[in-house]
A and B are shown apart, each in its own frame.
Chain A
Amino acid sequence: MTAQRVVVDPVTRIEGHLRIEAMLDGKGTIQDAMSSGTMWRGIEIILRNRDPRTAWAYCERICGVCTTVHALASVRAVENAVGITVPRNADIIRNIMFLTQYVQDHVIHFYHLTALDWVDLVSALGADPAKTAALAQAVSPHWPKATTGYFSDVKATLSKFASSGQLGIFANAYWGHPAYKLPAEANLMAVAHYLEALKWQKEIAKIHTIFGGKNPHPNYLVGGMACAIDMQSDNAINMERLNYVKGLITQAQGIVENLYLPDLLAVASFYPEWTTYGGGLGNYMSYGDMPQNGIGDPSTFLFPRGIILDKDLSKVLEVDPTDPDQIREQVAHSWYTYPAGTEALHPWDGVTEPKYTGPKPPYKQLDENGQYSWLKAPRWRGKAMEVGPLARVLIGFASGRDDFKEVVTEALGQLKIPAAALFSTLGRLAARGLETRLAAHWLQAEFDRLVANIKAGDQQVADTTRWEPATWPAECKGFGFTEAPRGSLGHWVHIKDTKIANYQAVVPSTWNASPKDSEGQHGAYEAALLGTPMADPKRPVEILRTIHSFDPCLACASHVFGPDGEKLAEVVVR
């Protein structure tokens, strides 16, 4: 094998447009990698001069998947700027929306966005339904659908689907690749659960509809939430709706505990080598979230705030996103231009001036020494950071939190692996599952808190005393944040004369998918690919495994019905 360049564009089973170029040495090991966001976003320009109270509705539509998270960060930014503290019910309802998004997003990620990197559909067609039933009962004794008849039905449906020679939604994978290690029965079990999760995911989203009026893109409000609470009204949050939410939470817990977690651990147990690849930066950041005493009191957050450097779990450093010396974005390798003499800018002073210097598409390759992405390169005190489930779980664990330690220790014990194994592609997938366990548990706790608060006579969901712009200072700045499912999300707003003077969103995938910075430090995706051996560069399942473990989300895609479909991923080896 000679040194070569593998190009995957677009990377599929992700949200948005991402291009990966990986440079392999003569042995097929990745020596260098480039992550390029190939789509321009531009929300900062759309928001200029708008009413800050409407920003959430625009921001929320950055994405059709994490639809609530941008709205949440946005209302928090504006509230922070003009000095609003939301009522307790609003905090709790926001937490419920937040956790609902987690549980739905993470389950979908596992089954629908990454499972096919590990689960071989074609092998599933050869499984013995009786043996599959026995396996399913052993793996998850409390999940009811584990009979021979059930798996026979699933197998028949899949066989019929595959018999036309076209695999439709399952076409996008490298079936028969030697990197697939599961026995046929485990594959059939996982594919059956893929279908179960597909049916279930539409149920959990109803929680967003109940509190947010619609889904996707539920309604938020600067000052609180837009859903009235009134037990006597048919048109408000009442007992009937609360009971419905309660049922959905119970159902979600069943999916997480009896389907997702057992499947995740079962699949992981067949891929021990993936605890040694894909670790990457070893620097982790979380802004924290899930306030228990208002967003201004990070000490009560259920997701703790902090930084871990160089995989050192013995200390958690502090992060302050409002400190102009901490978080700063660079554009050395990005298609933007900064004012002369400026290398890095804090988001409050952020500048969004596009300047495309790349080749005219379609192009063969990008230049790793030049500008190569529509993403900027955010850094914390000059260091590249990984954000997302692994960061949150490690920071919770390293902060000494019992709930995090319990779920982590239990999973490590079941897989018989040390804590250091978490710094890997598989560790990232495991962390996502473990925080989903916590999220499903917290969902119930937040629901109980809401009911208790309402029972105590508190029906207030919004504070509108500062709704009128006349009550605001002439000029103010605010920072809003959330720990979106994919990681730390920050919105920085600068309000002048009641209008938005500047708005900057630094999203999780800007951190993880960032290009190199002026010092040549890789972003998280790039770093995670380094050192990974590839069995067959024409079928780069190894790249997909690691990139998918981050759950990339870049922007919205196009949508046309075609007989052959679009090319799933142009894989070019040079």
Chain B
Amino acid sequence: MTAGSASPQSTTEPLLVLGLGNLLLRDDGVGLELLKRLEGRFADAPGIELVEGGTQGLALLPFLERRPGLLVLDAAAFGAAPGTVHVMWNPEHHAAPRGIGAHEGNAGELLDAARLIGYLPEQVCLVGVEPADISTGIGLSGEVEGALEAALEAATAAVARLTAS
């Protein structure tokens, strides 16, 4: 496939569930906590792979290649009340206008880059939790801790939809 081709890639890999975030920045690590809890439900399920992406940013590009679907678990600062669970399907633009850089690895940049080089899966879902506190430290805030169950249900529903399509 050329860089410019927009045609769908052949999908030979399992569905990818990607947890993103920095455990050292409190609620920024919520995606990793969700991933850990999802592992309990899907660890042995066929056709699903769970990957802890941390803050690796563009180094995660190879993981996106040839996936039928992608579920991203992350903190999502959309300006809603802390603890709000956001579910977004196939967001047109991920637009995190910080420019590209291996350290500035957020989900938006990763998905933008994947789109440009033809690695973006057909179906992409983001399940994000609005953070309350992203200061340096370990452990989630009460608001985000309280949202974990709802986020987990949303993520499980997203996996069901991704595997059905």
Contacts from A to B (Cβ < 8 Å): 12-16, 64-65, 108, 112-113, 116, 145, 150-158, 160-161, 164, 166-173, 192, 195-196, 198-199, 201-202, 205, 215-216, 556-566, 568
Contact = CB atoms under 8 A, between A and B. Distances in A.
The 5 closest A-B pairs by CB, nearest first: A153-B4, A171-B97, A172-B99, A154-B4, A565-B96
A150 B134 contact: no
B84 interface: no
A265 to B, nearest CB: 22
**Main SS of the interface on chain B?**
loop
B95 A166 contact: yes
B3 A168 contact: no
Interface stretch (B42-50, B103-111, B139-147, B155-163): B103-111
Given A14-B101, A168-B94, A157 B106 contact: no
Contacts of A563: 78-79, 95
Contacts, number: 165
Interface residues of B, number: 50
B38 interface: no
B22 A559 contact: yes
B101 A12 contact: yes
Given A156-B6, A202-B61, A65 B97 contact: no
Contact of A169 (B28, B74, B76, B100): B100
B73 to A, nearest CB: 10
Given A153-B5, A169-B112, A198-B117, A559 B99 contact: no
Contacts of B78: 562-563
A412 to B, nearest CB: 31
B96 A156 contact: no
A14 B76 CA distance: 23
Given A168-B97, A196-B3, A563-B79, A558 B134 contact: yes
Contact of B2 (A12, A112, A150, A167): A150
B100 A113 contact: yes
A13 B99 contact: yes
A199 B117 contact: yes
A168 B96 CA distance: 6
Contact of A565 (B22, B95, B131): B95
A161 B79 CA distance: 25
In this complex, the member of A154, A160, A168, A566 whose beta carbon has the largest number of chain B beta carbons within 10 angstroms is: A168
Contacts of A201: 58
Interface in B18-77: 20-22, 25, 28, 55-59, 61-62, 74-77
Given A15-B103, A215-B59, A562-B78, A152 B96 contact: no
